[in-house]
Structure 1
């Protein structure tokens, strides 16, 4: 638990700074003099496409690197594992560049976008760079080098900020300028990461690893195709069933709720996948103690972050957006944030499935949740627009977590504190409902009232005995020992 907390904190800090860098760019993306609302909607769709394609193109190889490097049964082949995975991914990345370059005219004809050929080619180079850099980033996670991992991600973000300011603000290149900045930042990051990894791993190729990697990775490649549809497919359905302008509003709502994803879920996932696999390997039978403890803490603090995002969405949007239309994103943030909370719970349970090598069930579980998401979107978007898409996302993530929990319980029966999860979510919803009643208040009074509600969550958690006073005192002693003056 100490290692998980420490590493998650480093990743969370990095993700916080990363999200802050995104907020630096938000005034530029939302400034219609630099990037029209239509162009911003197109950028949202391109970002969604990247999330869809990268897991598929990677064939589950980065996760296979983590799985087999912590598997005692693969000990004889682990020395050659990093270079083998990197070599295969390099060939895949080269194929992405070739296909996107020569297929750009056909794709542009299908999209019907102005400057579409140039956009597709730039986007293909960006995909290849991100695909290839995923392997050395996974290698840093495997070695638990959280500081270097965070530094690499933040360096890429800073390069992106500089590139966007140059190409979008100074050169006035619009969406093409944003893509140029993305290619520049991802490409330079990929070169540095690959060079660093090649200096520290044996350059050994073991083709016997390929069969095991493929057996484990192919179902994950299927889920890699489908899971991003669950993450971002609603943007495409909104663009089809509503308007691109609606996609822009919904995209901004996902960025706001995505603070939970960036600050808590992603940071937690980066640390927990490795530490969880190692913990299960060291304790092959009995309850998953680390997973049970993590479930409780995640439920409490994740629900608090859902409340914080719901209470702050309106004022953050009013501060950053030049167009009042983006204020329509405010009510979407609560269900979308709850969806991210459910996805974090899924990470806890699916870790047990990774350790057991049950990648087939992972794939089918993802397919079922995504199919439900698509059906609900087709049903609810025509009725309720963007709000229908938000609630469909929440329901689908809940099913995803429930399916993984059911399977994990069959593999490693563990008594999880479900009452804590239900109580923490109910508490967050109740306080968020009170905060919505303050929407018509003057700005300063509204900010003060919502801040009180946010702080009130913490003593209520203790009053409801989700945490006991003895645990809080023990936790405070633990923190003091690790403070510089402790």
Structure 2
């Protein structure tokens, strides 16, 4: 059997820590957001979700791929932080100001006025700070300080969780403006702490704007910039178009379901940046092994989550006591469609990470651009009539489109073969899990938590039986955690 690459067991441990911390914080945040939506109402929360999504799309201008480019170069060039980061830092600060102005102009053009523009400014400021925090965390990822980055990845959510709980506890305090204010305060606190940690680990965090150096950095980050903008459009434009083309209430239904998909995908967004940094610094001989590992690490937990939602997804809306049965049923339908997206991402998202980190960012951008155009066309056609359900189905079609593109690029552009055996085992494991769950539900009626516990045990046996996880790898993981 091939021995793990040097440092791979430690990398395993870093992934475990990042996932564990997000599992401790993210579910609490999702439950709290459910409560906030139930208190504010679907229409008010739909407006908030649309403004947040518009912010994510517009504020891609504040990054222009500098975060991913910085991670890649920090991992590959030991002197990058001291020699080039001051220019990168100053450039990023300037782009923050430009992006916020562009966001407000875009909001005005789309018809938002008065208090809505004020909310947009607050949300934009909060997400700018959050995105800026991701930029600063890139230094830790590039220097392979994955455990520190794992702790930082949940810090803002933990602070915000406490702030919103305080608002919920005070009668009448939870309103849209106070909720947005809490988000700004939590993001600002996190930035201050990040600066302190960067100074302690790597020395002074300087900012020095140089036109020649800035032009060079922007040219190098341009492929990543295009991907950042296109991914933002591809994932978030649905919410904005739904609120504008259908209604804020339909956007609220979609947000209630999308939140759970976003929570599940947080696992992927925690793991994939770690593999991005690992891919960028790996030797060619390591890439094939890392891809096979990443495919399994990403997919196995998500397969079980998808199966749970398909069979028992309605239980996640237990907090919506102010919603009608028809409203909960609509959110449940959206949820199950959206989790088919999670299934597709579980199989293929790692290919995008590999391609982007090894020089194929421009090709990936072309695929995502095609998906954006397809998504906008489908939204304009179907959203006015079908609302939130159209948004969910359109998202699934587009995810399938980009995933097929990743497979084609990996097979045609790289020397790394598509791990067909791993994919076959993952499909087999998911099919066996769904079959066993269906049989169990036909025979007896159990409480959802007992049923889920039994199926988790069954899935563990399926994973071992199909060879998706080997005992030697479990030993490596245990050893890394003990260290």
| TM-score, with structure 2 as normaliser | 0.84
Partner of 1:277: 280
Which protein has greater RCO, CA pairs closer than 8 Å, 6+ apart?
Answer: 2
Change (3 A) 1:437 1:276: same
Within the alignment, does 1:256 sit opposite 2:257 as a pair? no
- Whole-Å Cα distance in 2 between the matches of residues 239 and 440 of structure 1? 40
TM alignment of 1:188-227, pairs within 5 A: 188-198=189-199, 200-201=202-203, 203=206, 205=208, 208-227=212-231
* CA deviation after TM superposition for structure 1 residue 277, in Å: 1.1
Partner of 1:175: 176
TM alignment of 1:333-372, pairs within 5 A: 333-372=335-374
Change (3 A) 1:131 1:427: closer
1:279-311 deviation per Cα after TM superposition (whole angstroms, max 9, x unaligned): 1xx23x696321133224433333223213434
| TM-score, with structure 1 as normaliser | 0.84
- Whole-Å Cα distance in 2 between the matches of residues 91 and 460 of structure 1? 52
Secondary structure (helix, strand or coil) at the match of 1:86 reads: helix
Partner of 1:48: 53
Unaligned runs of 5+ in 2: 1-7
Between stretches 475-484 and 63-72, larger displacement belongs to 475-484
- Whole-Å Cα distance in 2 between the matches of residues 164 and 477 of structure 1? 41
8 Å Cα contact 1:59/1:221 also seen in 2: yes
Partner of 1:26: 33
* CA deviation after TM superposition for structure 1 residue 98, in Å: 5.8
1:23-66 deviation per Cα after TM superposition (whole angstroms, max 9, x unaligned): 3423531333xx12211111211221232133332111111101
Between stretches 226-235 and 312-321, larger displacement belongs to 312-321
Secondary structure (helix, strand or coil) at the match of 2:318 reads: helix
Partner of 2:5: none
Partner of 2:243: 239
CA RMSD of aligned residues (A): 3.4
Secondary structure (helix, strand or coil) at the match of 2:111 reads: helix
Within the alignment, does 1:460 sit opposite 2:473 as a pair? no
1:401-427 deviation per Cα after TM superposition (whole angstroms, max 9, x unaligned): 222232233343223333543553465
Within the alignment, does 1:268 sit opposite 2:271 as a pair? yes
- Whole-Å Cα distance in 2 between the matches of residues 117 and 380 of structure 1? 28
- Whole-Å Cα distance in 1 between the matches of residues 154 and 294 of structure 2? 27
- Whole-Å Cα distance in 2 between the matches of residues 330 and 81 of structure 1? 49
- Whole-Å Cα distance in 2 between the matches of residues 391 and 480 of structure 1? 41
Q: How many residues align?
A: 470
Unaligned runs of 5+ in 1: none
1:114-139 deviation per Cα after TM superposition (whole angstroms, max 9, x unaligned): 62243133223223322332321111
Secondary structure (helix, strand or coil) at the match of 2:144 reads: coil
- Whole-Å Cα distance in 1 between the matches of residues 336 and 309 of structure 2? 7
Change (3 A) 1:320 1:430: farther
- Whole-Å Cα distance in 1 between the matches of residues 412 and 110 of structure 2? 50
* CA deviation after TM superposition for structure 1 residue 389, in Å: 2.3
